[in-house]
Amino acid sequence: MLISNIRLKNWRNFQSLDLPLRDVSYVLGPNASGKSNLLDALRFLRDVSKTKGGGLQAAIAERGGISKVRCLHARRDPEVEIAVELSHELDQPAVWRYVLAFKPEGKGAQRLLVSREQVWKDGKLLLNRPDNTDDADVLLRTQTHLEQIQTNIKFREVVDFLSDITYLHLV
């Protein structure tokens, strides 16, 4: 499987990005143009989906909190979103689409909450959060279904793929 598209909203220095990818993609640009931030979005999804020590809250904390992750230009829109499309083969339609959006609660404890989590397989919506259960217990929105073994059985293939992302920094 391969990542055929990544979409970012308010992620670090990207207010908006929609980037189709190939089996090999080169990320080139001057210093401080966002190359590492683009790759960190993929590492972030890996960290959220890790079974040991992972999860949304840990991944955000590891990066210094939501204020370090959210785009500075996103003053009026606090939501951060990462979406990936996964294909089995190059130039084939995406089989999977995973969307994760989150933002601070906006009151009191300022917890980080999932504002949207969607999983699509072959164009069919498998997961759409928040749902009635999330509305009844807002604490559920502090975790993604990606990080919960009990709730990700229908899209475990996505979890396994994302948790296997490897980042090598070659100098």
Q: pLDDT by residue (tens digit) across 26-69?
A: 889 999 899 999 999 999 999 999 988 889 999 999 999 999 99
Predicted model pTM: 0.94
Tell me the domain boundaries of the chain: 2-163
Regarding beta strands 96-104 and 14-20, do their DSSP bridges make them parallel or antiparallel, or are they unpaired?
unpaired
At 107 the pLDDT is 73
Asked if residue 170 has pLDDT above 80, the reply is no
More confident residue, 5 or 170: 5
Among residues 143, 144, 12, 139, the alpha carbon closest in space to that of 67 is found at 12
At 96 the pLDDT is 98
Question: Measured between alpha carbons, how far is 72 from 12 in angstroms, rounded to an integer?
Answer: 7
> Is 2-163 a domain of CATH 3.30.1490?
no
Omega prior to 130 cis, within 30 of 0: yes
Q: pLDDT by residue (tens digit) across 148-161?
A: 989 999 999 999 99
Reading across the β-sheet that carries 80-87, which strands appear in turn?
14-20, 2-11, 80-87, 96-104, 112-121, 124-129
Percent of the chain with pLDDT over 90: 78
Q: Which of the four pLDDT bands, split at 50, 70 and 90, describes residue 2?
A: very high
Average pLDDT over residues 126-142: 96
Average pLDDT over the chain reads: 93
Question: Measured between alpha carbons, how far is 118 from 116 in angstroms, rounded to an integer?
Answer: 7
Supply the DSSP symbol for 139.
G
- Following CA atoms 13, 14, 15, 17 in sequence, which dihedral angle do they give, to the nearest 10 degrees? 180
At 124 the pLDDT is 98
1 contacts 7 by C-beta, under 8 angstroms:
no
Q: Which of the four pLDDT bands, split at 50, 70 and 90, describes residue 109?
A: low
Phi, psi of 11 (to 5 degrees): -95, 110
Average pLDDT over residues 109-120: 92
Asked if residue 74 has pLDDT above 90, the reply is no
